[in-house]
Amino acid sequence: MKSIDYVKVARGEKKADLVLKNCNVINVFNGQIEKGDIAISGGIIMGIGNYKGEVEFDVKGKYVAPGFIDGHVHIESSMLTPPQFAKIVMPKGTTTVVADPHEIANVSGIDGIKYMLESSKRVPLDVFVMIPSCVPATAFETSGHIITADDIDSLKDEKGILGLGEVMNYPGVIYGDKEMHKKINVMEHYVKDGHAPNVWDHELNAYCVTGIKTDHECTTVEELNEKVKRGMYIHLREGSATRNVSVLSKGVTNANSRRLLFCTDDKHPEDIKKEGHINYNIKLAIKNGVDPITAIQMATINTATCYNLERIGAIAPSYLADLVVFKSLTEIDVDLVFKKGYLVAKNNRALFEGKLLENESVMNTVNIKKEGLSFEIPLRQSKVNVIKLIENNVTTEHVIRDVKIENGLYVHDDSLDILKIAVVERHHKTGNVGLGFLEGYGLKNGAVAMTIAHDSHNLILIGDNDADMFTALEEIDRIQGGIVLVRNGEVVDSLQLEFGGIMTNKDVSVVESKIKNMDSILRDMGVNEKVDDPFLSLAFMSLPVIPEIKLTDKGLFDVASFKHISLEVDEGDA
Amino acid sequence: MKSIDYVKVARGEKKADLVLKNCNVINVFNGQIEKGDIAISGGIIMGIGNYKGEVEFDVKGKYVAPGFIDGHVHIESSMLTPPQFAKIVMPKGTTTVVADPHEIANVSGIDGIKYMLESSKRVPLDVFVMIPSCVPATAFETSGHIITADDIDSLKDEKGILGLGEVMNYPGVIYGDKEMHKKINVMEHYVKDGHAPNVWDHELNAYCVTGIKTDHECTTVEELNEKVKRGMYIHLREGSATRNVSVLSKGVTNANSRRLLFCTDDKHPEDIKKEGHINYNIKLAIKNGVDPITAIQMATINTATCYNLERIGAIAPSYLADLVVFKSLTEIDVDLVFKKGYLVAKNNRALFEGKLLENESVMNTVNIKKEGLSFEIPLRQSKVNVIKLIENNVTTEHVIRDVKIENGLYVHDDSLDILKIAVVERHHKTGNVGLGFLEGYGLKNGAVAMTIAHDSHNLILIGDNDADMFTALEEIDRIQGGIVLVRNGEVVDSLQLEFGGIMTNKDVSVVESKIKNMDSILRDMGVNEKVDDPFLSLAFMSLPVIPEIKLTDKGLFDVASFKHISLEVDEGDA
């Protein structure tokens, strides 16, 4: 038995496989820092103290923390397959993620979820999966696949599955939607992630009475406090578009910190490379007054406890040797990362290859009905409902504007900051096209097309002229998904995302330089400098579960009343 | 689906079954006290706020805490069957216990464990069971049954089973005993309770590397701190014989309190009735400087988290309506107890009956070989190894004394505070008798006999003359287990313990008055007033895993060297 070997090593009678000498060990159990060696055998921590190893590595007094855990992430938002994703997050100290493969599930269904589980096995990152609960996010859009309660039931006992992914359909939960409740009941004894922005009082009680356990949508300390009070674990999120750590850090106290976690949710690869991953959440929290060890607890043991991850999240005998080494307890700039005792990253570089899994079931997923397709918008009146982009936020504002009409059709007006936006159904060739107006983006003489469009990942297009929008659509169809930029009739750049139209096998450096180049082209084309990430912002314009107004392939959608509305303002609304 | 009803109630659209009005709700998530109503339906908490109910009950501003959890208890130590035990602990606010039915398992094996699970179902108390890991406690005694790794494997998935009971054979763990490790490996993914008094440094690493998660044997703050550091959850124990809460409370800090729990381990019924149960641990902790809400967390959410008990240990939507109502936040004198929404105790009285399960497999368990039985102790020299009782502690001191010899046999000397002690094997009629000497008990002109004798529950006898010891043995045999007092040749009182010789079906009031009467007889017979509980102290004299020196049916046992030793002091030892 291995355990008999382990006690020998722990007792110091037998040499450990590896000993990290002279560590300043961060102890998440007592909140203290302990000087000593860490002995590792078989990928497991044998003991802390004074040890000898077959291999010894002098850490020279640097800090050693447990590997960081991202408590809620859509890997797909990195636009990278799980192996490529692992290569960029592990050098930042992330050794475990709780992933909700909700994006690929919208495109490829159960095959998509299985692809994420399978492809993750080829790299050292531990990827635990929550089964997406809302595919499609609503009935108001057309997704590639539907995940039913029966599908969830059939998946729940697969290795690597932890629970139910964020239950975004919070009105469905609170007001008793049967299929939603069926999914929750199927997962009764599993962890269930929540998503309930701005839900309070009796409605929050109703959401929580179903056993949903977490929330990552808090944007104020007041909301965080209210949800902690009702028993939720709260993720402090720092993604590319949603950045809540600085504000929420003010709400971290001795009394509530054990219920607080970190997550990234959606983060672009260039941001991960530039800022960091969960180590950045920790750093920001510390900058905003959180005690460094409390912040590290929020990135490790708290998350492990919330998700029932045994033997992860601490440096203690029997725990996995997932270790992060760094010099500064405020900067958390990671020097070395060990996963199950193996050195997997050094000086910001992964020491493993991102072995890729080609999988037909998640490729060639773009299927557009081009016959009869039109972006023309007939209008009987000039007063229209417009989606106003809120900078660096995935919520939008519902505004009413006067637009120009010629011959009964909307025409672009250069004096207004309003663009045409379209969502084209691209999974089943239905021919569905939703059309609307977007304010605050600022593009001129061209179009952008993307098959990343939350959550159904239809084709989202924006432009100031229909011809460029058509050109962009044709190119998307040719490359079978990705991001395409068209300027004055020409494709000026594109990034192919061959996995489901949302992820690529390419190395992050390729993606990064593409995104960088396309971003600078967009700025040159007039895109608002205040919009931090013009791709991510666009990708959320089609997500009908986030206030106030969005666009799906079925048309304009008002989140408050939870129904489609017409482009033209009704008499009553004006 | 029930959950659809629940959201209606939580939203306030439908009346709750029961609403507790005007509560001061103790919130274990944020450490605060919240004024409001608690709405309950189907035994589950629907919400906290302003609610209407079919039945409303005005709590009039009293405190309402989650039901208390005893994190480690041998129910058998109450000498009551689980239903009778429930009747005395629930009025004290205990609504859930994690029980290790180690005592009955030593007598009746798997049948004993199943009896505890089955008989608990007849009362509202939630009894979760840890499978006893050390039956027998050592190879140095004869138990009624042996629980093997295979037995554990066959039991582990039964409903109500949580994990592996306290692994008392810590030398076996640390030094690689194969059967011990086999048991641990069988329970790899389950919670494993520890028992490692005074284990430190590399040996503690070795103990913990096997994944053992808790310890309830700490007696100093230093030991508590060391074990928390190595990842253990620590129970602060307050039993009848072992009282650690006052001392350990000094070690409770903001940083470590989430890793701390409460337990009683072994507590006599009269102490439970007089002092309380887990509410007494809380009260003592508060008296010794622990913040009241921290203390309540240690009695509720911390224990639930440690043992992966979902939906227990907090007052929040989706949690079981296990609620304790009391007036004073320092005294924790319990007025009302609700279990799953039902009022189960009021003003210190249970409102349910202790329905009993008669079970042949755990009755008529006394089986003594009387032919050839003798308590004579031949000695070649007067210098002998003596067990010295340490008052109010289950450890003993190993002392060497000069005793009187006549005709080659030990004879009692009234001028010495030394009695003869015997452990008679009583399960298999082997005829085994262990004989020894006990100092510090103080009995005159009589004998005490008990079939409660940790952990094998053989017959333990003490007396100042052999004739009275024989009389006591005969009476034990006749009543098939219990406690018998003999004075000057006559049975002066007895308590029959018809279940395994360790528990009774009788009401606690009968047990209490018996124990009280027997205690006063013993005092009259000269038993040392400083020995708080003369029965419990005696019952631990046969437990060979607790230092320093004990007696089993196989003879005198030295815990330090972990082997039997002779009564006569070797030349080298003197």
Using one digit for the tens of pLDDT, what is the confidence trace for B442-478? 999 999 999 999 989 999 999 999 999 999 999 999 9
CB atoms under 10 Å from CB of A185, counted, come to 16
Per-residue model confidence (pLDDT) at position A572: 56
Q: At a CB cut-off of 8 Å and minimum separation 6, what does B519 contact?
A: B534, B535
Q: Name B450's bridge partners.
A: B460, B483
In total, the C-beta contacts within 8 angstroms joining chain A to chain B are 182
| Phi and psi at residue A141, to the nearest 5° | -155, 165
Residues of B in contact with A255 (CB under 8 A): 30-32
| Phi and psi at residue B286, to the nearest 5° | -60, -45
| Phi and psi at residue A529, to the nearest 5° | -60, -25
CA distance B445 to chain A (A): 51
Residues of A in contact with B259 (CB under 8 A): 29-30
Out of A332-336, A421-425, B227-231, B512-516, which region has the weakest mean confidence (pLDDT)? B512-516
Per-residue tokens: A467: 């011809």
For B173, the closest of A7, A225, A231 (CB atoms) is: A7
Share of chain A residues as helix, strand and coil, in percent rounded to the nearest 5: 30, 30, 40
Residues of A in contact with B208 (CB under 8 A): 10, 316-318
Which pLDDT tens digits describe chain A residue by residue (574 residues)? 899 999 999 999 999 999 999 999 999 999 999 999 999 999 999 999 999 999 999 999 999 999 999 999 999 999 999 999 999 999 999 999 999 999 999 999 999 999 999 999 989 999 999 999 999 988 899 999 999 999 999 999 999 999 999 999 999 999 999 999 999 999 999 999 999 999 999 999 999 999 999 999 999 999 999 999 999 999 999 998 789 999 999 999 999 999 999 999 999 898 999 999 999 999 999 999 999 999 999 999 999 999 999 999 999 999 999 999 999 999 999 999 999 999 999 999 999 987 777 788 899 999 999 999 999 999 999 999 999 999 877 789 999 999 999 999 999 999 999 999 999 999 999 999 999 999 999 999 999 999 999 989 999 999 999 999 999 999 999 999 999 999 999 999 999 999 999 999 899 999 999 999 999 999 999 999 998 889 988 998 998 878 899 999 999 999 989 899 999 997 655 4
Say whether residue B221 is in contact with chain A using an 8 A CB cutoff.
no
Q: Name A327's bridge partners.
A: none
B182 with A1: Cβ contact below 8 A: yes
Q: Is A241:A276 a contact under the CB 8 Å cutoff?
A: no
Query: Per DSSP, which regions of A295-382 are E strands?
Result: 323-326, 334-339, 342-346, 349-350
What's the distance, CA B186 to chain centroid? 25
Per-residue tokens: B555: 């003879």
What is the mean pLDDT of the segment spanning B545-566? 92
Residue B344: strand, helix, or coil? strand
Say whether residue B94 is in contact with chain A using an 8 A CB cutoff.
no
Q: At a CB cut-off of 8 Å and minimum separation 6, what does B368 contact?
A: B424, B425, B426, B429, B459, B473, B476, B477
What is the Cα–Cα distance from B566 to B574, expressed in whole angstroms? 13
Per-residue model confidence (pLDDT) at position B572: 56
What is the Cα–Cα distance from B436 to B441, expressed in whole angstroms? 14
CA-to-CA dists, residue A169 to A63, A545, B8, B57, B239, angstroms = 42, 7, 16, 35, 49
Say whether residue B179 is in contact with chain A using an 8 A CB cutoff.
no
Residues of B in contact with A199 (CB under 8 A): none
Residues of A in contact with B203 (CB under 8 A): 11
Say whether residue A15 is in contact with chain B using an 8 A CB cutoff.
no
B49 with A205: Cβ contact below 8 A: yes
Q: At a CB cut-off of 8 Å and minimum separation 6, what does B365 contact?
A: B107, B108, B144, B426, B427, B451, B480, B481, B500, B501
Contact map slice: A 309-368 vs B, CB within 8 A: 310-311, 314, 316-319
The residue that leads in pLDDT, B390 or A11, is: A11
CA atoms within 13 A on the CB side of A397: 10
Say whether residue A256 is in contact with chain B using an 8 A CB cutoff.
yes
Mean pLDDT of chain B: 95
What is the Cα–Cα distance from A157 to A153, expressed in whole angstroms? 8
Helix boundaries (H) for A379-507:
466-479
Q: Give the burial string for A422-450 (b: 16+ CB within 10 Å, else e).
A: bbbbbbeebebbbbbbbbbbbbbebbbbb
pLDDT confidence bin for B260, thresholds 50/70/90:
very high
Q: Is B56:B19 a contact under the CB 8 Å cutoff?
A: yes
For A30, the closest of B256, B317, B318 (CB atoms) is: B256
CA distance A320 to chain B (A): 10
CA distance A200 to chain B (A): 11
CA distance B64 to chain A (A): 15
Which residue of chain B comes nearest to A257, CA vs CA? B30
B48 with A230: Cβ contact below 8 A: yes
Say whether residue A10 is in contact with chain B using an 8 A CB cutoff.
yes
What is the Cα–Cα distance from B320 to B124, expressed in whole angstroms? 12
| Phi and psi at residue B263, to the nearest 5° | -155, 165
CB atoms under 10 Å from CB of B563, counted, come to 10
| Phi and psi at residue A487, to the nearest 5° | -135, 125
Selected for mutation to probe chain A from B1, B3, B13, B257 (highest A CB count within 10 Å) is B3
What is the Cα–Cα distance from B115 to B574, expressed in whole angstroms? 48
| Phi and psi at residue B80, to the nearest 5° | -115, 150
Say whether residue B176 is in contact with chain A using an 8 A CB cutoff.
yes
A206 with B7: Cβ contact below 8 A: yes
DSSP character at residue B570: P
For A176, the closest of B8, B31, B254 (CB atoms) is: B8
B3 with A209: Cβ contact below 8 A: yes
Q: Give the burial string for A491-528 (b: 16+ CB within 10 Å, else e).
A: bbbbbbbbbbbbbbbbebeebbebbeebbebbeebebb
Q: Name A16's bridge partners.
A: A53
Residue B478: strand, helix, or coil? helix
Per-residue model confidence (pLDDT) at position B553: 97
What is the Cα–Cα distance from A266 to A133, expressed in whole angstroms? 17
Say whether residue A33 is in contact with chain B using an 8 A CB cutoff.
no
Out of A121-135, A339-353, B353-367, B490-504, which region has the weakest mean confidence (pLDDT)? B353-367
What is the Cα–Cα distance from A159 to B13, expressed in whole angstroms? 40
Say whether residue B185 is in contact with chain A using an 8 A CB cutoff.
yes
Per-residue model confidence (pLDDT) at position B574: 44
Cis before A5? omega within 30: no
What is the mean pLDDT of the segment spanning B158-173? 95
B209 with A3: Cβ contact below 8 A: yes
pTM assigned to the model: 0.92
CA distance A321 to chain B (A): 12
Q: Name A41's bridge partners.
A: A44
Per-residue model confidence (pLDDT) at position B545: 78
CA distance B24 to chain A (A): 14
Tell me which residue of B85, B73, B134 sits closest to B106, measured CA to CA.
B134
CA distance B402 to chain A (A): 40
Q: At a CB cut-off of 8 Å and minimum separation 6, what does A548 contact?
A: A395, A396, A397, A398, A558, A559, A560
Out of B99-103, B196-200, B546-550, which region has the weakest mean confidence (pLDDT)? B546-550
How many residues does this entry show for chain B? 574
Selected for mutation to probe chain B from A178, A189, A209 (highest B CB count within 10 Å) is A209
